[in-house]
Structure 1
Amino acid sequence: MNIFQGIFKARDKPKNLGSTSFLWGGSSSGKVVNERTAMQMTAVYSCVRILSEAIAGLPLFVYKYGDDGSKDKHLDHPLWRVLHDEPNPEMTSFVFRETMMNHLLLTGNAYAQIIRNARGDVVALYPLMPDRMTVDRDSQGRLYYRYRKNSDDAPEVSRNKPSDVILAPSDVLHILGLGFDGLVGYSPIAMAKNAVGLAIAAEEYGAKFFANGAAPSGVLEHPGTIKDPERIRQSWQSTFGGSVNSNKIAVLEEGLKYTPIAISPEQAQFLETRKFQINEIARIFRVPPHMLADLEKSSFSNIEQQSLEFVKYTLDPWVVRWEQAMNKSLLLESEKRDVFTKFNVDGLLRGDYASRMTGYATARQNGWMSANDIRQLENLDRIPAELGGDLYLINGAMTKLQDAGAFANTTITETEEPSDGQSNTGSKPKQVPRQSKQ
């Protein structure tokens, strides 16, 4: 036991390797990059919104395995209402998951405080701000969560000291993204701060370009000595600065001469830079560019396939992270064998109407879907059981492989027809051997 305690003590403290850069916000472009400045970029905002709303909008259910191995919705489980309807009295399930996913995408971690009753059942979940949470170890190497309080908290919470709240891992729902130690996730914005910073700088350059009248910066030259250059600069800016003054004709007096010194945006490939940064940010979050309204490399023939790949390669990993974190933290040890949570992504994987109907027809004819199974997926009312809505049918021409040719040499019964053309009543059956085909 002492050996294992020594190993635990020697473990490194969990940390986000990108957190320092994330908090200070330094980037090579000279722009401050953090979760708030990054969200001012339309590409970042779109990616975060697409993924957050996708996870928040997926149906989330609690299931239980039956004795025969089947799985059924566990409507009576305490988690059903918490996850499916209201995680807490202040939020709906959609808003809670959207908020948590927003934290996860911007900081690499999402935390929620777990409120339990006397039996240990989860009765509420409250999101916690990730920038105020620290994951640490005690002297025995055991994990704990330290949450920093501030004046924004409830009065009864922020009134007393100390300023930190210590939470056990069993009291925190922690969903983390890609990380170094598997305990704390990286901040995607911090890890890609230079790409985001370049996008911010390009957008700011374009805004200032139009703010200056869509004209390059330049120099006002005077043949003599100007006594008050600041007055002339302010007069020029107020008269010709801004996009509303871009078409005004400048009248220069006293020998003044305007000489532009900046290169044009086309020469600086300004538009190409902004377009490339959209793809860079889409690459960070693994979102197809066409979902960010960039249709340059998309067509009507491949958008559907790209949308299916978005579900498979982008949403599925996040769904698995959510499901496993909830099963680990929200379920009692005694029920983890039989109860589990699961998102339903079938609706996102459905193709167009013709493709769905073809798939349903195949499933119906091969006996592994009933009419009501299909109608449930299409959000249609069930057909009553007495009308055959729950019947499972199969093509009658199909047979087992081992029965193929089993009736090749059997005899069939034929009725002899009377030779005089009279009725065949009372005629005797005749046994005719069945000839197998060679």
Structure 2
Amino acid sequence: MSQTEKLSAARAYIAERGIQPFGWMKEQRGMLENPRYSLDDPGVMDALWYDAGTLPPVRPQRAIQTSAVFACVRILAETLATLPCHLYRKVNDRDVLRADNHPLYSVLHDEPNSYQSAFQFFQASMSQLALWGNFYAEIQRDSTTGQVIGIYPLPAWEVQPSLIRTGNTIRKVYNVIGEVLEDADVLHIPALGWDGVKGISPIALHRATITMSLNAEEFGANFFKNGTRLSGVLQHPGKISAEASQRLRESWQQSYAGKANSGKVALLEEGMSFNALSMPLADAQFIEQRKFQIDDIARIFRIPPHMVGSMSSSTNNNIEQQALEFVKHTMLPWIKRWEQEINRKLIPATQRRKYFAKFDVDDLLRGDFASRVQGYASARQWGWMSANDVREKEDMNMIEGGDVYLSPSNMMPADALDKQEDAINNEPPEPAEPQDPAAGAENE
């Protein structure tokens, strides 16, 4: 049996048994077995991601209630949303201009659909990407010209992409609540994945880490809710019945538990004594555990820890470098995903050699004012920026005569230097000055 046949059989097996891939739902049965195919077969395991973990799935809506997850998702979403997406037109092999007259420009830069601005669209889309691992949007085109007139987000949890083979052709389709959309009609941005069809949710992959953080937050909330006492023992010198014990426990809980009753003086009767079994949070390493969880979740989303409030490994000397690494290693891969999918789906094939979409990341790379001034001065000195180029970068109006490019007086093209040396070497000698006859007579 070929690998393709094995995969087809595995998919048929999954559909036949009603098993949902990727661990969102599991079939509850004593043994997962098909007499025709062994689950040890690599082809079957490639199609069926069997997760033997015992932890229950963590829904993205629950995971984002963790402060670290919320901070990471917010950073990714708002960072992408602040980057303007421009459509450019190639003038020649080296020069490009903004194609702000093209109908697609306003869709990407201003208003992707009838109810969202560009910021709202990219913020929501990046949030879905970070939580569900995929973002889908339906592309609407003008019925006459075929030009893109809108991009409408689809709920990632309601879309299931799949591949369909027709003869020697494989095409991708999307099942959206019973409706099938073709690949050309869906803008799909996948996160990290291994099947080339869809991305994997980081929440699903790292549910143990997310669960640990959720449990730590719940523990802390319950700890302080119970008056910073984990538990205690009421000791009676005699023996009491179960009913009396229950009444005593309820009475004690009502009178002395909780932050509202903190600091009250307890009244003990019948020779009873109270033995506290509290453990200070520092002894339980609760604070250290919470800090580690923040760094661990930041690592999942590839966010520098200082951006989510963890300064344990950051200093004033390396924060700027970490910010540059965030742009290069975190945002750039996401930006490339967006740019390539926009160019592939929203720009017709006949126009792709002339038009392309690109996010402007200059604002992310801007340094402090002193660093920018130093860079501008160098650019002006060496002649590759004019005064108006600098003013445009700083959002200032143009000035008259500001388009002049300077050049250092001691710099010239190499071929011009060779020509100058040749001219000097081939220059005829200067004629000798004529002697004064009177001066010669005086010498005699």
Matched, 1:361 2:377: yes
Q: State the one-letter code of the partner of 2:153.
A: P
TM-score when scaled to structure 2?
0.81
2:337 equivalent in structure 1: 321
With over 3 angstroms needed to count, the CA separation of the structure-2 counterparts of 1:194 and 1:68, relative to structure 1, is: closer
Q: Is this contact kept in 1: 2:57–2:204, CA < 8 A?
A: no
Counterparts of 1:203 and 1:348, CA distance in 2? 33
1:244 Cα shift?
Answer: 2.9
**Residues 365-411 of structure 1, C-alpha deviation per residue, up to 9 Å, x if partnerless?**
22221111111111110113xx2x11222112112334254465447
Residue 148 of structure 2: which of 122, 135, 143 is its match? Answer: 122
Q: Is this contact kept in 2: 1:29–1:201, CA < 8 A?
A: no
1:349 equivalent in structure 2: 365
With over 3 angstroms needed to count, the CA separation of the structure-2 counterparts of 1:337 and 1:195, relative to structure 1, is: same
Residue 52 of structure 1: which of 77, 100, 117 is its match? Answer: 77
Residue 143 of structure 1: which of 163, 167, 172 is its match? Answer: 172
Residue 171 of structure 1: which of 182, 185, 190 is its match? Answer: 185
Residue 76 of structure 1: which of 72, 82, 101 is its match? Answer: 101
Matched, 1:186 2:209: no
Residue 400 of structure 1: which of 409, 413, 416 is its match? Answer: 413
**Structure 2 segments unaligned to the other structure (5+ residues):** 27-50, 437-444
TM-score when scaled to structure 1?
0.82
2:157 equivalent in structure 1: 131
Q: Is this contact kept in 2: 1:79–1:122, CA < 8 A?
A: yes
Higher relative contact order (CA 8 A, sep 6+): 1
2:394 equivalent in structure 1: 378
**Residues 62-109 of structure 1, C-alpha deviation per residue, up to 9 Å, x if partnerless?**
001113531110112121111111111111010011011000000110
Structure 1 segments (4+ residues) deviating >6 Å:
26-29, 411-414
Residue 202 of structure 1: which of 212, 216, 226 is its match? Answer: 216
Q: Sequence identity of aligned pairs in percent?
A: 42
1:246 equivalent in structure 2: 262
Residue 104 of structure 1: which of 129, 146, 156 is its match? Answer: 129
Counterparts of 1:66 and 1:101, CA distance in 2? 32
Partner of 1:186, secondary structure, is coil
2:42 equivalent in structure 1: none
1:159 equivalent in structure 2: none
1:274 equivalent in structure 2: 290
Q: State the one-letter code of the partner of 2:392.
A: Q
1:152 equivalent in structure 2: none
Counterparts of 1:380 and 1:27, CA distance in 2? 60
Q: Is this contact kept in 2: 1:18–1:191, CA < 8 A?
A: no
Q: State the one-letter code of the partner of 2:348.
A: L
1:200 Cα shift?
Answer: 0.5
Partner of 1:274, secondary structure, is helix
**Residues 118-175 of structure 1, C-alpha deviation per residue, up to 9 Å, x if partnerless?**
2211101110001000012335242210011xxxxxxxxxxxxxxx111000110000
Counterparts of 1:212 and 1:303, CA distance in 2? 40
**Structure 1 segments unaligned to the other structure (5+ residues):** 1-5, 149-163, 420-438
1:214 equivalent in structure 2: 228
1:153 equivalent in structure 2: none
1:224 equivalent in structure 2: 239
**Residues 240-270 of structure 1, C-alpha deviation per residue, up to 9 Å, x if partnerless?**
2112323222222223333344644323211
